[in-house]
Amino acid sequence: MRYISTRGETQPLSFQDAVITGLAPDGGLLLPETIPDVSARLDEWRDLGFVDLALEILPLYIDDIPRETLEELVRAAYGTFSHPEVVPLIPVGDVNVMELFHGPTLAFKDVALQLLGQLFEYILSRRGEHLNILGATSGDTGSAAIYGVHGLPEIDIFVMFPDGRVSELQELQMTTVADANVHCLAVQGSFDDCQNLMKTLFADLPFKNTYRLGAVNSVNWARVLAQIVYYCYASLKFSARPPATFFVPTGNFGNVFAGYLAKRMGFPIQRLVLATNENDILSVFFNTGVYQRGDVRFTVTPAMDIQVASNFERYLYYRLGEDSERLRRFMDDFSSTGRAALGSSARDEDFAAMAVDAKDTLSVIRRTYESHGYLLDPHTAVGLAAAEQVSATGPKICLATAHPAKFPEAVNKAVGADVAHHETLEALRGLPTRRTVIPANLDAVRDFLASHARR
């Protein structure tokens, strides 16, 4: 399997090279040359556990790591999870909540980043190379990435986050990690500022090559690949009924895009319902065909306070008939004017989309706790709000993206009681922290990397 860029101006790469490269040199995002059709194999996979199913799916995309070695990496990655099923499905009323937060940082990002950390270590140690990872986070990606690579001699990691715009506990998960290879940068701006700084530096090829920059954000194909597996796993649990509909809280489009690929592979998925907060650029697009940037609104769901979805380009590539030239025109229009549109309606039978405001988010948390004794984090509540409003003929699966204890202020406010706790998080309070505050400009990030990155 080779990997190509959405922009069409990068030579095809092997899987290992795709992992190390992150963002393609032409500024595009990497995708497999083909998407395997596995519809004929679903019956034999129906009763597999999550890890065993991953060991069937991942080799379809990874042909340059021996099968036995890949199995070791996968089992090591998911051996860090506290639940034996890794991603259990919990009935909550008429919705099945898939808990993706049983990894070391209590967020769905662990599913991909624990595996990515294993892949980085394997590839870099074999090549005798060092990598400086540059990431941007709206909360959970940063800590999950840090926990995936902290202490590894082959890697230094630099994580940018919007100062004051992530939860207290999310910040503590990053800044209390004492390993010398971890660098936390509190950027005086929004997450979109952080993401734009990251993409601009990756587009500066001489700088990227000089400082050996790599990516852990979902621009890295391995992140999306790991997430495909839990859609496949969950969809097979309900195969005797009509196909499942997934309700996905999303801001950067990476999570829901993994479900889109699982559906294209032939797994029984009826539809993907994309649920955003008040930063509704994605829901507006799927309902009108217009992709238009607005001002970032800061909400009770900070991981979704995003106006530019970095993975949306991957979906557009397929939506535009895998035509890189058309894609470049679309992205150039958006980059220069903040607005781009398809020539016809963007309605897609694979997707539905809606926005959920903060009032409804808190209301869903309260009602779900009162009715079912089940506690939601605010982001998962956005997905469940969509599940309450969108009909489906088959089972409904809502992705639970974080443990509620990561957002105690919003959760406790909604419930009216001090209920959002987790011992892992409580242990962080009072620990020494390390972070560097920098302005949201390119020179500041470039200077910090030049001073601290190992070449």
In the block, residue with structure tokens 């202020």: 409
Q: Which amino acid is at 58?
A: L
> How many other CB atoms are found less than 10 A from the CB of residue 275?
32
Q: In the annotation, is 109 catalytic?
A: yes
Q: Where are the alpha helices (DSSP H) in 138-190?
A: 140-149, 168-175
How far apart are alpha carbons 281 and 269 in whole angstroms?
24
Topology of the domain covering 130-217+422-455:
Rossmann fold (3.40.50)
The CATH 3.40.50.1100 domain(s) of the chain lie at: 89-104+221-419, 130-217+422-455
Distance set, CA 95 to CA 46, 107, 250, 269, 311 (Å): 21, 20, 18, 15, 27
Q: 225: which 2 tokens?
A: 């690949």
pTM summary value:
0.93
In what order do the strands lie in the sheet containing 182-188? 213-214, 131-136, 155-162, 182-188, 436-439
How far apart are alpha carbons 239 and 323 in whole angstroms?
34
Q: Exactly one of 109, 208, 263, 396 is catalytic; which is it?
A: 109
How far apart are alpha carbons 247 and 125 in whole angstroms?
39
**CA dihedral angle for residue 434, residue 437, residue 451, residue 453, rounded to 10 degrees:** 60
Q: 23: which 2 tokens?
A: 């963002």
* pLDDT tens per residue across all 455 residues of the chain: 999 999 999 999 999 999 999 989 999 999 999 999 999 999 999 999 999 999 999 999 999 999 999 999 999 999 999 999 999 999 999 999 999 999 999 999 999 999 999 999 999 999 999 999 999 998 788 999 999 999 999 999 999 999 998 889 999 999 999 999 999 999 999 988 998 999 899 989 999 999 999 988 888 999 999 999 999 999 999 866 799 999 999 988 889 999 999 999 999 999 999 999 999 889 899 988 899 998 888 899 988 888 888 899 999 999 999 999 999 999 999 999 999 998 666 678 899 999 999 999 999 999 999 999 999 999 999 999 999 999 999 999 999 999 999 999 999 999 999 999 999 999 999 999 999 999 999 999 999 999 999 87
Length of the chain: 455
Helix, strand, coil fractions of the chain, as percent rounded to 5: 45, 15, 40
89-104+221-419 CATH pick, 3.40.50.1100, 1.10.287.40, 3.40.1390.10, 3.40.390.10: 3.40.50.1100
Q: CA angle at residue 449 from 332 to 310, to 5 degrees?
A: 30
